[in-house]
A and B are shown apart, each in its own frame.
Chain A
């Protein structure tokens, strides 16, 4: 159950779904906020429960007063039409008071005044450009200070109880709506926060293990990411505010907030992952720059003051001291430049001249030394090439000098064997001579081959070959020997071809030599195991056999030239088989190693596959 939950909670699908939900919830929350703000209620004036005592009420009254003075009577068209007013400027009379009042008396203004006085405390009249309360005679400045009061206006204004009642109902409605939206936004915020916490918790985690996995976004340096995010927030914030909270452009606002949420999520989660992996600081541009500076500084410090490496040879010693002098003079000149600049003396011109002189001196001095070094390298290369050429010539000459007399020996021994009338003992001697001269021939051939191969002077004929086929061919080729050997060969080859690029002929010699070795030195009636398998990016070929005698030598010894499995050296062979195999394997780009475990002799050859 636990693992199931873990699998579910850490799966990418769940994470994606949650991220999507967070985006939706954020939009919902922002919308709720904007609706709440749209009610005109804010946390400041929320406590004003009764309209007639609220600031809003005073504001409304002042607004009405302004409107009348500026003869903008549009408010009377709206729900404010409960406000009663009278306005007279010269002959122009505007009022919303019932016509009945008018008919009763000819002195119209007084009739109206009497009518309005009924409203008592809620009655206001205009006097000398100021509104005055009908009861308290308190004057109210309703408009801006620039208004200089038109004296010829007579105006009355009254707010009947019904107006206050209506306003109170309206206010209650808005307050309810405000609180509802606020609660909704709060709930959404809580859910969103919880989901966000969940995301933070599983960020960078996967089902399999508890490692922290990074994503593409984590490749951006932490500080760059945060800086970019802050700039983004700064540029987008105001826009978002206007669009969403003032309902200016709702669609644009939603799109903007979606973008904002997604980017915020990416940034926050990236930061979380980095914090979890403890690379938040290390993976930042500032840190990298710091590191670079540190390393460069260290290098400069080391090269400048610890130039011991330089001082060991006579050539570079001069280089080192020259460099030290240049650095010192450069620093002094730099300081002088600053001082001269501050003093503003014409001496300022001296430092560039010093620089020019010192650079000239430095380059010219170094050029000579570089030439010397160049010459030295060339000479040593020449010497090396010469010795290489001599080595090859030596091998060729020695081989020729060994082979020529050997040819004579073999030929005359052969002639001798054909001679008739020799005594029996002589015939036996000739036979021995034949066998031994043949062996000598093999040793010389092997030695020559090994010398060429180890000197690196060997031409490889590289082709795309199948090691599996090569092994089959080699075994088939040596079948006769294998059959008479009383040994059982157990081969395990892969089903598919094992293709590498190498010299097939050389590798055949390698396999042949190793198998020959096994045939020569294995205990009778045992098995020889040959394995060919792919391991990771390489091919490993192993040959295992049981030695017929105690192997009292080490892995290193057996690969030495002329080392023989049996110390008495009675068996045939040149003692060069494994050395040749090793050298050829190296030539072909492989590695040969020998392992001895009790009586088990194991040769492994490894090739890289690319």
Chain B
């Protein structure tokens, strides 16, 4: 089997080396670059499946590099940055990046995110072709309404009926904020009274199943003081 080749770009050599070791342990091949221009060169000459890209770099910064890469390649781009503001993340993702990891990162989380992006890029493409009217795709999540099944990055996730119903409600109405009462009434089919805890427990369980880092969810988000929603991607 061909090893997936990952390009790691950062102006800090120690970080690049550390990430190389981490990914090697997981069985990936790593190509290293120390600035944006070098990264673009390597990308042209080698077969690369994923890029880990720092934002603050000399010569060509990560955001500009992302835009240039997006012009030519469809491979997943994960941004690595010390900038942790929401606005920075939103900017990065809207430039064409697929994920955003803030420094200092948890090595396990980095690996998980890399895996997730690769799976989606390499295998989920096929599933995407088979997509029919009963399937709904949001990022790496695909819900099959007829089979009542959730596929995350190409792998099935086991959900309880209640969890599935909550997820179905939120995914079919992606971007809409639901209050806990509304979720309870729609899923349990009972009038809601003091149900914040019940709903939150389920939300947390779903998060543990579908999110890489449940404390910083990518999909299922709490809108504090209002309710819950699944981000429209």
Q: Which residues of A contact B (CB under 8 A)?
A: 396, 399-400, 403-404, 406-412, 414-415, 418, 441, 444-445, 448, 459, 461, 463, 465-467, 469-470, 472-477, 479, 502, 504-505, 507-508
Contact = CB atoms under 8 A, between A and B. Distances in A.
Q: Which 4 A-B pairs have the closest CB atoms?
A: A465-B225, A476-B200, A504-B224, A411-B18
A474 B108 CA distance: 27
A225 to B, nearest CB: 55
B224 A406 contact: no
Interface string B148-177: 000000000000000000000000000000
B71 interface: no
B186 interface: no
Interface string B181-204: 000000000000000110111001
A581 to B, nearest CB: 14
Given A415-B18, A415-B22, A479 B201 contact: yes
Contacts of B108: 414
Contact of A477 (B22, B104, B200): B200
A410 B227 CA distance: 35
B82 to A, nearest CB: 4
B104 A403 contact: yes
A399 B21 CA distance: 26
Nearest to B111: A414
A476 B103 contact: no
A472 B196 CA distance: 6
A476 B201 contact: yes
B18 A477 contact: no
A312 to B, nearest CB: 44
Nearest to B181: A469
Q: For the complex, would chain A's binding face be called helix, strand, loop or mixed by DSSP majority?
A: helix
Contact of A414 (B12, B87, B107, B222): B107
12 contacts: A404-B103, A411-B18, A411-B107, A415-B107, A465-B225, A465-B226, A466-B226, A469-B179, A502-B225, A504-B224, A504-B225, A507-B225
A461 to B, nearest CB: 8
A404 B82 contact: yes
A408 B10 CA distance: 12
B15 interface: yes
A79 to B, nearest CB: 98
Contacts of B84: 445, 448
Contacts of A448: 84
B195 to A, nearest CB: 9
A479 B200 contact: yes
A488 B56 CA distance: 47
A481 B196 CA distance: 17
A467 B25 CA distance: 47
A602 B87 CA distance: 34
A473 B200 contact: yes
Contact of B224 (A403, A415, A505): A505
Given A400-B56, A407-B103, A411-B15, A473 B222 contact: yes
Contact of B15 (A404, A414, A467): A404
Contact of A473 (B25, B104, B105, B196): B196
A410 B104 contact: yes
